[in-house]
Chains A and B, each alone.
Chain A
Amino acid sequence: MNPLQKLFPNIDDWGEIGRACIDTLLMLGGSLALTVLIGLPLGVLLYLTGKGQLRPMPKLYAVTSLLVNVLRSVPFIILMIVLMPVTYALVGTKLGIRGAIPPLVIGAAPFFARLVETALREVQQGVIEASQAMGASLWQIVRHVLLPEARGGLFAGITVTAIALVGYTAMGGAIGSGGLGDLAYRYGYLSYKSDYMLVTVVLLIVLVQVLQMIGDRIVLRYKQR
């Protein structure tokens, strides 16, 4: 009997844990990419249309803001269940990695959009005024001033969002999306195999730590300037 078996008597297939890790990473990668892709423009829209900003549009801002708040206030586990028909319509399944990504993105994008809005508000008003004085168009200001100047804050937001997504992917396990959460739920909770629970929890902690470290490095690189 090798020492691993002695420590974790119930785990007979370590390959399954490996596959679950990969599933979690795939869900995380896919949903994070789409979250940034959707949340970034949404955050820019919130910023630009806000009161006293470059293109104040009170009605559009109010509607967008309400939508974002509604999506953020529904607990993720409920959101996933509510969104099932939407998920099915979008990707043709409610299960697995593909089935997990739509609710993950719809849950995280509004959250990330708010972080983007906040990061953009940190950009010095004077720098924006200077670029207007240089004849910059709105698009040039967004592309060449706001986004580069807010880089530090944006990467901090991506880090926080990625970590929140790790939590969401684990929750997805409860409704059959696969990954480490699924493993912990099925073996650790439903079958009382607490060694499974322990291993998955440790792996999730390691994942979160690594994400935070990478995020902090990137943010620090831009903050030093």
Chain B
Amino acid sequence: MIRFVDVHKSYRVDGRDIPALQPFDLDIADGEVFGIIGLSGAGKSTLIRLINLLERPSGGRIFVNDTEMTALAEPALRAQRRRIGMIFQHFNLLASQTVADNVAFPLRLAGERDSAALQARVGELLARVGLSDHADKYPSQLSGGQKQRVGIARALANRPSILLCDEATSALDPQTTASVLELLAEINRELKLTIVLITHEMDVVRRVCDRVAVLDAGVIVEHGPVADVFLHPQHPTTRRFVDEALPEEAASEHTPFAQVPGHIVRLSFRGDATLTPSLSRVARETGVEFNILAGRIDRIKDLPYGQLTLAMQGAQMQIALAALREAGIEIEELPR
């Protein structure tokens, strides 16, 4: 459990305080994958560094697993940091050390001296990230995706309960991003690890996160389950991120539907609602006609969802909409 209580942060630049994060409260539950999305400069990098106190807050209190991080003295803080893994956009591996030594590094820092124990743990970690054959290579001999896997193995070495991901896939190509995200999801499932990740890509959030917070100019403008935020974005910044993740739909939604007759609605199906043919049943029963203007079927993490934009016509419109809501479909009426 990670808890921020009335935390804020500003930087002192040339004698003036520049606010980076406005006062906020936030809880991140055990075992969830929590995404923080924002443009560069929004403060997400600062926010994630507050968790292991790489950045100290200007005010407020931060708790990790019931320990008040902000109250710890240096040695106790170092001990706590060993329980929090972190991976980085640019990997930050030791160039002078082999892959195996990089992974062993946090274990050595924690005082492990027994070389048999070190070797066994390193072997286990490299196997988990699929790099068993690369133990004796140097980071410069690896691809970006492999480097990040070493970063993940290193972050998991001391069996942390939390993994912080600082733009972990931003320097990777789309295929590599997908495989690294899959690995993170697998780790979250199997080790019951809490993952906090920051990103500027909605697609990353959609694929692995359970909940998301949208950060805009130092303010959390929206947060909640990914499906809610993704399907019903409220804040303009959130809408921009969603539009970037769904380019084709964004384009069609910005075309005026003025020439299309009927009532324009957007239907969102998720989970079980995607499995039943509610739309055709309701159309048959109420006699409304519909015309599909735009649509998309995909997944948010493990949740299948569909979103259809329809033009509907017919006398029993309100009855039809009520019946659709009854069937678990969310409905938004769109302006023309």
Cβ of A137 within 8 Å of any chain B Cβ, yes or no, is yes
Residue of A nearest to B138 (CB): A225
Across the two chains, which residue of chain B brings its CB closest to A130?
A: B92
Within the complex, the shortest CB–CB distance from A120 to chain B, in Å, comes to 13
Q: Which residues of A contact B109 (CB under 8 A)?
A: 131, 134-136, 140, 144
Q: Which of B75-83, B220-228, B239-247, B255-263 lies on the face that meets chain A?
A: B75-83
- Give A110 Cβ to nearest chain B Cβ, in Å: 27
- A34 adjacent to chain B (CB < 8 Å): no
A132-B54, A133-B52, A136-B109 given; A127·B78 CB < 8 A = no
Contact residues of A between 106 and 154, Cβ < 8 Å to B: 124, 126-127, 129-137, 140, 144-145, 148-149, 151
Quick one: closest B residue to A124, CB to CB?
B92
B52, closest chain A residue (CB)? A133
The answer to whether A222 has its CB under 8 Å from any CB of chain B is yes
Tell me which residues across on chain A come within 8 A of B92, comparing CB atoms.
124, 126-127, 129-130
B78/A144 in contact, CB under 8 A: no
From 278 to 301 in chain B, residues with beta carbon under 8 angstroms from any chain A beta carbon are none
Which B residues lie within 8 Å of A137 (CB)?
78
Cβ contacts under 8 Å, B158 to chain A: 134
- Determine whether the beta carbon of B94 is less than 8 Å from that of A148: yes
Our pick among A124, A127, A133, A144 for the contact of B81 (Cβ within 8 Å) is A133
A135 — which chain B residues lie within 8 A by C-beta? Answer: 78-82, 106, 109-110
> Which of A126, A129, A130, A148 meets B96, CB within 8 Å?
A148
In the assembled complex, the Cα of A132 lies from the Cα of B86 at a distance in Å of 10
**Any A CB within 8 A of the CB of B84:** yes
Question: Out of B52, B79, B80, B96, which one reaches A225, CB within 8 Å?
Answer: B96
B86 touching A222, Cβ below 8 Å? no
Instruction: State how many angstroms separate the Cβ of B6 from the closest Cβ of chain A.
Output: 24
Interface set, chain B 64-122, CB cutoff 8 A to A: 78-82, 84, 86, 88, 90, 92-97, 105-106, 108-110
Given A126-B90, A144-B109 in contact, is the A133-B95 Cβ separation under 8 Å?
no
Interface residue? B140 (CB, 8 A): yes
| Chain A interface residue number, banded | 20 to 34
A16 to chain B, nearest CB (A): 45
Least Cβ–Cβ distance between A54 and chain B, in angstroms? 12
CA distance A126 to B158 in the complex (A): 20
Bound together, the chains give a CA A126 to CA B96 distance in angstroms of 15
- CB-CB contacts below 8 Å: A147-199 with B: 148-149, 151
Known pairs A144-B105, A148-B96, A149-B96; A133 contacts B84 (CB<8 A) = yes
CB of B96 within 8 A of CB of A134, answer: no
* A72 CA to B333 CA, complexed, in Å: 77
Q: Nearest A residue to B89 by beta-carbon distance?
A: A126
Looking at the assembled complex, report how far the CB atom of B150 sits from the nearest CB atom of chain A, in whole angstroms.
12
For the complex, what is the distance from the CA of A141 to the CA of B178, rounded to whole Å? 33
A167 to B90, CA, bound (A): 43
Interface set of B (CB-CB < 8 Å, partner A): 52, 54, 78-82, 84, 86, 88, 90, 92-97, 105-106, 108-110, 138, 140, 154, 158, 164
What 5 pairs between A and B have smallest CB-CB spacing?
A130-B92, A135-B81, A135-B82, A126-B92, A135-B78
- Please list 8 pairs of residues, one from A and one from B, whose beta carbons are closer than 8 Å in the complex, sorted by A's number: A126-B92, A130-B92, A133-B52, A133-B84, A134-B81, A134-B154, A135-B78, A135-B106
Told that A133-B84, A134-B86 touch, could you supply 20 new A-B pairs with CB distance under 8 A? A124-B90, A126-B90, A126-B92, A127-B93, A129-B54, A129-B88, A129-B92, A133-B81, A133-B86, A133-B164, A134-B106, A134-B154, A135-B80, A140-B109, A144-B109, A145-B94, A148-B94, A148-B96, A151-B96, A225-B138
